[in-house]
Each structure stands twice: as C-alpha cells, then as structure tokens.
Amino acid sequence: MTANTLVNSKLVCVALNDKAQLAALDATFNEAPYKKPPTQPVLYYKPRNTWSVDGAEVEWAKDFDGNDVAEMVVGASLGVVIGKETCRVSAEDALNYVAGYTIVGDFSLPEASYYRPDIKGKCLDTSAPVGPEIVAADKIANPDALTVTISVNGELKSTFELGNMERSVAELISIISRIMTLQAGEIIAVGFAGDRVAVAKGDKVEASIEGVGTLTNTLGGA
C-alpha cells in the first residue's frame, strides 16, 4: 500500500523542532511582540490540495499576478503514521499508537517570518509529497535515531539527525494528542532541518531516510 492512500484527513507538520534553529532564533524570540521562545510545538497543516506522491511532479509556484515566483525551498521530515485513535496519551505509551513511518516533503516559498506565516506559500498545490511507502513501526527500533537527507540533482544538500530535534517523536505524539484527537492514517511530520534547501525549476529532489526509503520528486516549470 502506498503512503498517499494512508493519509486520512490530516497531515500535521511540526515547525521549529530543530535545536540549532531554535538556538539561532533565540534573540529574535525574545524581542517584541512575544518576548520568549515558543513553549509548545508550533504546528501547521498541509491541506488536501498539497498532498502528492513519490515520483510526482511538484508544481512551480506562481505569485498573485499569475507569474512564476523567483524561488522555492524544500524541507523533508520523518512522517509518523498514526495507527489508531490517539487522545491524551503519555510519552511512554505514544509509540504504541504508531502504525508506521514514511517521508514527507514540504515544498514552499522561502519563510520570511515565523510570527506572520505565509499561508499561501505553505499551501501550494502538490507541495507535500508523501512516500514512497509506509514502513511498519516494528521495523524501526528507534525513530529518534534516524537521519533525514535531501539531495538535489544527485548532490547532497542537507543532513538532519532526528536526535537533534527539540522534542522527540514520542513527546510530540503525546503533546499533540492533548491538542487534538488523532485518527488512524493521519500523519505527523515531526521535524525539519531549520535551513531549507533552495530548489530551481526542473530539479530532481530526493529525500531519504535509511530503513524508510527515498522520496523522489521533480520541480515543474522548466
């Protein structure tokens, strides 16, 4: 069964879960208007129009006037596939609610502000490919020990060890399950490297996690 057929109603992404990114932004977070770093996971949704699959072309974004934008970026995350209704679970029990793991790509416009997120830039059609498949949870002994890499046209551009996440996979499931009830087939993209990778029209992007697979997509517009 391919990953896209298992997405059920929600694809939830966790922002600012890279310890290095949080440290780099510490001074910014302590300025007005908030004057402190986030105390809870920062979540955003990739709505249904963004969902796509391994091997699919990702549409190059257009601006409000219908012209091609100048640049796009990509991040990649481990995708945690929920296996059963998950509500107010403890971190100790959280992984028992996981059906499996996959890879989530997140193509978007460059992020200019975390206080006023660019909703349009995060909700582009076909911008969230998921795949290449679902790997059963019992095949991954420790999801926090995995590493996410991104290569563009065969050249390694990003490496993100999930051990460097601010909150672990189990912690995130527990916290999010107190914010919303998760249902079977819903996916949490648990964390992206703080530095997104710049991409150009026609680029071939490969997001890989050893033991989970490689998600391959090509940018359109060339």
Query: Regarding the domain delimited by 11-219, which CATH topology (the fold level of the hierarchy) does it fall under?
Result: Fumarylacetoacetate hydrolase; domain 2 (3.90.850)
Contacts of 173 (CB under 8 A, 6+ apart): 80, 82, 86, 89, 91, 94, 95, 97, 98, 182, 188
Percentage above 90 pLDDT, the chain: 78
Contact of 190 with 42, CB cutoff 8 Å: no
pLDDT tens track for 66-104: 899 999 999 999 999 999 999 999 999 999 999 999 999
**Which pLDDT score is estimated for 27?**
80
pLDDT tens track for 135-185: 999 999 999 999 999 999 999 999 999 999 999 999 999 999 999 999 999
pTM listed for this prediction:
0.94
Q: What is the mean pLDDT of the chain?
A: 91
**Which pLDDT score is estimated for 117?**
60
Instruction: Give me the residue label for tokens 């819903």.
Output: 186
Q: Where in the chain are the domains?
A: 11-219
**Which pLDDT score is estimated for 4?**
46
pLDDT tens track for 108-132: 999 766 656 677 788 999 999 999 9
Give the torsion sign (CA, 44, 49, 50, 54).
Answer: positive
Closest by Cα among 127, 131, 123 to 100: 131
**Which pLDDT score is estimated for 116?**
61
